[in-house]
């Protein structure tokens, strides 16, 4: 059913690598004076998360925010194949999206990211002077570990099809180091992207703006994961104001069926509007 209280505009944003598909949501009856830029997660996690991203974007638009969602190079409906993607290209895509949103919205902007998108938000935030806060959903804290987890998808597929894995993560890492691309779960991972991921460490950045860090767990009273606690403590010691919490729900970015987490939407709205 069409929601008359918000307007939704799909369009393509020009980039040096080809058009980037974007979705812009804003209040239908008023000019938004604050914006949100959403940066999606990696590979199949992006598609699993579309439902939650849509629910959150609509909730933010209802609250008066202008929300821009962008498919990064090689992802979704944007130009290029996944094998064309590099972290530098995604940085540039995010900067272009931020510049477009800054023209539409005169006020401050929230950078909102999920998993690797959260890491990208932290990475690019220092380049802008109008970021009011970072909104991080289940941030990817260590790119090297994340790369190994991603490669295990291929090993699991081999186990299901052949009864045993034909390779191990070390072998796959060696292939990437030898400048060979690897197909993982239908996505062609380039050696360049693998190198970029392996070098990412969230704790090496110290955001200047406030941070909202939300994770999903079985119990809403849990602390965030230990790796996250360590980074949050370092950020706070460096003077960054960080709000962290865990909400109860399923890890929708990896569930077999598309899942929702209403508690995450609610917690995000509380944090964004404070």
Where do the CATH 3.40.50.1820 domains begin and end in the chain? Answer: 6-141+203-273
Q: Is 238 in contact with 247 (CB distance < 8 Å)? A: no
Note the pLDDT tens digit of each residue in 156-209: 765 555 555 556 788 899 999 999 999 998 999 999 999 999 999 998 888 999
Whole-model pTM over 0.75: yes
pLDDT of residue 93: 98
Collapsing DSSP to helix, strand or coil, 187 comes out as strand
Sheet architecture: strand order including 109-114: 6-13, 20-27, 66-70, 35-39, 109-114, 131-137, 211-217, 242-248
Does domain 6-141+203-273 correspond to CATH entry 3.40.640.10?
no
Residue whose tokens read 């970021």: 131
State pLDDT tens for residues 126-160. Answer: 999 999 999 999 999 999 999 999 999 887 765 55
Per-position b or e across 201-227, b if 16+ CB within 10 A of its CB: ebbebebebbbbbbbbbeeeeeebeee
Output the DSSP codes for 93-111: HHHHHHHHHHHH--S-EEE
The DSSP-derived string for 68-98 is: EEEPPTTSTTSSS-GGG--HHHHHHHHHHHH
């Amino acid at each position: 059913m069409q929601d008359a209280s918000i307007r939704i505009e799909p369009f393509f944003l020009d980039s040096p690598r080809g058009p980037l598909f974007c979705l812009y949501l804003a209040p239908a009856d008023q000019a938004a004076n604050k914006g949100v830029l959403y940066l999606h997660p990696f590979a199949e996690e992006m598609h699993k998360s579309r439902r939650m991203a849509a629910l959150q974007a609509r909730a933010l638009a209802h609250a008066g925010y202008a929300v821009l969602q962008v498919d990064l190079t090689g992802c979704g409906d944007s130009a290029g194949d996944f094998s064309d993607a590099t972290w530098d290209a995604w940085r540039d895509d995010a900067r272009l999206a931020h510049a477009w949103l800054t023209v539409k919205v005169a006020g401050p902007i929230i950078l909102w990211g999920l998993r690797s998108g959260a890491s990208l938000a932290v990475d690019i935030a220092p380049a802008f002077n109008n970021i009011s806060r970072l909104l991080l959903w289940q941030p990817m804290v260590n790119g090297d570990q994340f790369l190994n987890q991603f490669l295990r998808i291929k090993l699991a597929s081999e186990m299901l099809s052949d009864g045993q894995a034909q390779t191990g993560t070390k072998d796959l890492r060696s292939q990437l180091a030898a400048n060979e691309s690897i197909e993982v779960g239908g996505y062609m991972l380039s050696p360049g992207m693998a190198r970029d991921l392996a070098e990412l460490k969230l704790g090496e950045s110290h955001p200047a703006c406030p941070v909202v860090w939300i994770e999903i767990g079985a119990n809403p009273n849990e602390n965030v994961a230990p790796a996250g606690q360590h980074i949050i403590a370092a950020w706070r010691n460096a003077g960054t104001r960080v709000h962290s919490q865990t909400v109860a729900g399923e890890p929708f970015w990896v569930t077999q069926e598309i899942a929702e987490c209403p508690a995450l939407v609610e917690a995000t709205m509380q944090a964004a509007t404070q």
